[in-house]
A and B are shown apart, each in its own frame.
With several copies, the nearest count.
Chain A
């Protein structure tokens, strides 16, 4: 990915992870969302669920810890936390579809001001990569998205309406970008926190729909 303004990828993940509440069951998508598990959340502790039925996985396994038959949804060899368990795929998605996941964090190409998002298919592509994204998007209690604020061409990813095929409609509650923290409001986006070094005008210029700004707008606090 090209050099970008504002937050680093890890910082975007860190900001998102600070929203998680103690005891939450969390599903992290591949890529930047996975970095949420690196965040120091103090006393708060979570249960990480993976689509392949691993409940309670921990960090990426060191070479000595590695078990070739223990992977997360990204195919990484991981460890297990005390209290972990394993179920089969139908039971794993029963957990997802049944609304037992407190939050899913995913990457996306676009998020719309009505909370739609697109992350499974490029323009003009035949087929695509859905994986568990549509189940998670439709069924998790909260859908959080992490993405770069602008495309490589400089266009917005927070848009009035997705022009790529959507993954689910009206579900996105919170978006963390390198420019700040946003909520879709129906007719635009609420800027809740701004990244250091960015201005509201810069953000407004690169965001679809109406940009509203939170009262007493805070800067994203960085621990690293």
Chain B
């Protein structure tokens, strides 16, 4: 279903052409689904003035793995769009905080479900939708609302991505993907919202047709580049989190 191979030989090559100023979505929720290897490659590649989209800037957990916050610390980021600019527990201070407070980096704080739906809408050709989320809060101040059937809703706009960086368990050569358990999270949604979706894959890439059509989580029509993650230490893999101290 097309002659061009989607398989790339290295993470470096797979991110080489990403220009300054790109908007990039990063899959992942806690460890599962985070594209550690692509983030590392992007830090080496050095693109600047990026807009990053993801659940959180990261950095609150140990051991720390490559996250959006590291790109901030690396001076590559103009803006982040995420559901947390601070950690869930106020006593955890994120590395991101000082860059945000100093004004070095801009942030747009979006409720997690609205964030997911804005990207889903971008992929689905819906330019705007109404949601009850955040009505009556600081986030709705000065924004357009509308009463439908007696309830107040906030207007939210689609959020398109230039690139999506995601991680999957299994892929075939056409780019069909399967995720394992909570690895799925934002990954399939970002794939639909992005002009170019780059996937780091846990397992060796299978021939097209090896995944039953009923079992595909993300169709290859949304996937543009595939790279298999090598074994450690060459590849970065999820690790067990250290227990928090109380």
Q: Do A and B bind each other?
A: yes
Could you tell me if A75 and B101 are in contact, using CB atoms closer than 8 angstroms? Answer: no
Could you tell me if A70 and B32 are in contact, using CB atoms closer than 8 angstroms? Answer: yes
Is B53 interfacial (CB-CB < 8 Å)?
Answer: no
Interface residues of B in 98-141 (CB under 8 A from A): 100-101, 107, 109-114, 116-117, 119-120, 122-126, 131-139
Could you tell me if B219 and A135 are in contact, using CB atoms closer than 8 angstroms? Answer: no
Could you tell me if A98 and B241 are in contact, using CB atoms closer than 8 angstroms? Answer: no
Within the complex, what minimum Cβ distance (angstroms) separates B31 from chain A?
6
Indicate which residue in A55, A75, A85, A97 contacts B113 across the interface (CB closer than 8 Å). A97
- In the complex, what residues of B have CB within 8 A of residue A68's CB? 31-32, 238-240
In Å, the complex CA distance between A23 and B2 comes to 4
Indicate which residue in A55, A83, A90 contacts B209 across the interface (CB closer than 8 Å). A83
A-B contact count (CB 8 A): 240
Is A203 interfacial (CB-CB < 8 Å)?
Answer: no
Stretch from B11-19, B37-45, B69-77, B185-193 that touches the partner: B185-193
Within the complex, what minimum Cβ distance (angstroms) separates B221 from chain A?
5
Chain B, residue nearest A166 (CB): B137
Interface residues of B in 16-42 (CB under 8 A from A): 29-33
Chain B, residue nearest A81 (CB): B1
Could you tell me if B123 and A98 are in contact, using CB atoms closer than 8 angstroms? Answer: yes
Indicate which residue in B125, B137, B187 contacts A165 across the interface (CB closer than 8 Å). B137
Stretch from A125-133, A148-156, A185-193, A209-217 that touches the partner: A125-133
Interface size class of A (residues with CB under 8 A): 35 or more
Could you tell me if A135 and B4 are in contact, using CB atoms closer than 8 angstroms? Answer: no
5 nearest A-B residue pairs (beta carbon): A82-B209, A93-B113, A23-B2, A97-B125, A127-B85
18 A-B pairs within 8 Å (CB atoms) are namely A23-B3, A31-B89, A51-B112, A53-B184, A67-B181, A69-B32, A69-B182, A77-B240, A88-B189, A90-B117, A94-B117, A97-B125, A121-B138, A131-B88, A133-B111, A134-B139, A135-B114, A139-B132
Binding site for B on A (CB under 8 A): 22-25, 30-31, 43-47, 49-56, 66-71, 74-75, 77, 80-90, 92-100, 116, 121-122, 125-135, 138-139, 165-170
